[in-house]
Amino acid sequence: MPYQQFLADARSQSSWIVDIRRQLHRFPEVMYEEMKTSQLVRDTLDELGISYQSGIAETGVVATLGTGESPCVALRADMDALPIHEETDVPFRSEVDGKMHACGHDCHTAMLLGAAKLLRECESELPGTVRFLFQPAEEGGAGGKRMRDEGVLENPNVERIFGLHVWPPLPTGTIGSRTGTFLAAAGELKITIHGKGGHAAKPHYCVDPVVASAKVITELQTIISRNLDPLDSGVVSITAIHGGEAYNVIPETVQLSGTIRALTMERLQWLQDRVRSLTTQVAAANECEATVDFPGNAYPPTVNDGGVWDSVQEFAGELLGRDAVHEVPPVMGGEDFAFYTEQVPGCFVALGIRNEEAGCTHNVHHPLFKVDEDALPIGSALHACFAVQALRDLSDA
Ligand code: NI
């Protein structure tokens, strides 16, 4: 199983991978609604003669190749799209209004199926088990946590896990990652400011939650600039404000929402405590009451195992060229891959997809986001190499 052969085979099967990606791209499905996506994954696995379990975490699929015994390694792809209306001009653009694969999870799913095809062809030579995790709801639904809680890392126990993410800052043909914390701990924030509504001409009979909200938003900016150690990292962003309907009515309440990020769970918790205390006190100073919630599951930071990343750098340098493998700084984006690496050593790798000539320059979560599809066979080959190299490392250990 020479790694160059994986890359050559993936490139010769590139149209197969691209075709799956485009089918997924045309019919994006958001968190826990990945029915057609899951069906396409299962149909493709059937076509390849690979066994799987489905209905995990609702729409998740787990396929298996190899001996069925230890050592066991896992490769993961996320399947969900975003509630964004696509504005690109690609011929396979989204056919669902208001939904788009704007984070490249269509590519992740197609690349992992490509890797399954490569590894199926040399299954008898695998020195252990490879598990393929197709998971739902990465975008805010903590699908990775549900997959983990439903036991996908057990029987036999997964000892290494890998994930790829398309990465617009890096050019096609390159990859990046780092030792330690790569992506942030991230959580959602919801605030309601309760006042007393009434006629806007008689503000003295009201308690105005609009003015109080403005002050809360402004004061929240001081948490990062005044309370956080300047050498530490954090984000507090208010991204939505809803309140009031009429020009002459002071509303009863105003709702704010946003996100909080940090590089450790402890720091995230500290930021949440500070947001709660500052918000309730600023509201109280304005005779309002505030309720502060952090709904859903906060994502832990995505922390890469240094030894696993070293091993990836070694073979990827030979496969793609030494200059094509980058140590990149951490970013404040969140990833539910973190729920797996809380339990198992692994590595999350950024796959370059930037191609200025092809117009692939926009960042993820943008309505004009486009992927250079030449990166897809590279991703499939890398996944196959991750699995084989990790099985070899574990067998040698
Ligand atoms: Ni993503």
Which stretches within 59-198 are classed as H helix?
A: 105-120, 143-149
What's the pLDDT at 268?
97
Residue 292 is inside which H or E element, if any? strand 289-293
- How many angstroms does the Cα of residue 72 sit away from the middle of ligand 1? 25
pLDDT more than 90, % of the chain: 98
* Token digits of residue 67: 């001996």
Helices (H) and strands (E) in the chain, counts: 10, 16
Residue 228, pLDDT above cutoff 80: yes
List the CATH code of the domain at 185-293. 3.30.70.360
What's the pLDDT at 297?
86
What's the pLDDT at 29?
97
Residue 135 is inside which H or E element, if any? strand 129-135
CA distance 328 to 386: 19
- How many angstroms does the Cα of residue 244 sit away from the middle of ligand 1? 34
Residue 201, pLDDT above cutoff 80: yes
CA distance 118 to 386: 12
CA distance 297 to 55: 21
The mean pLDDT value of the chain amounts to 97
Fold for the domain defined by 3-183+301-396 = Aminopeptidase (3.40.630)
pTM over 0.75, yes/no? yes
What's the pLDDT at 296?
87
CATH 3.30.70.360 domain span(s) along the chain: 185-293
pLDDT more than 70, % of the chain: 100
- How many angstroms does the Cα of residue 212 sit away from the middle of ligand 1? 35
- How many angstroms does the Cα of residue 213 sit away from the middle of ligand 1? 31
- CB–CB of 326/64 below 8 Å? no
Does residue 83 have a cis peptide bond before it, meaning omega lies within 30 degrees of 0?
Answer: no
Residues 6+ away with beta carbon under 8 Å from 215: 282, 286
Residue 347 pLDDT class (50, 70, 90 cuts): very high
CATH 3.40.630.10 domain span(s) along the chain: 3-183+301-396
Residue 224, pLDDT above cutoff 90: yes
By residue count, the chain amounts to 397
- Pick from 63, 72, 83, 47: nearest CA to 134: 63
Residue 367, pLDDT above cutoff 80: yes
Considering only the C-alpha atoms of the chain, give the largest distance between any 2 of them, rounded to a whole number of Å.
Answer: 80
Residue 173, pLDDT above cutoff 90: yes
What's the pLDDT at 35?
97
Q: Count of CB atoms within 10 A of residue 34's CB? A: 29
- How many angstroms does the Cα of residue 156 sit away from the middle of ligand 1? 28
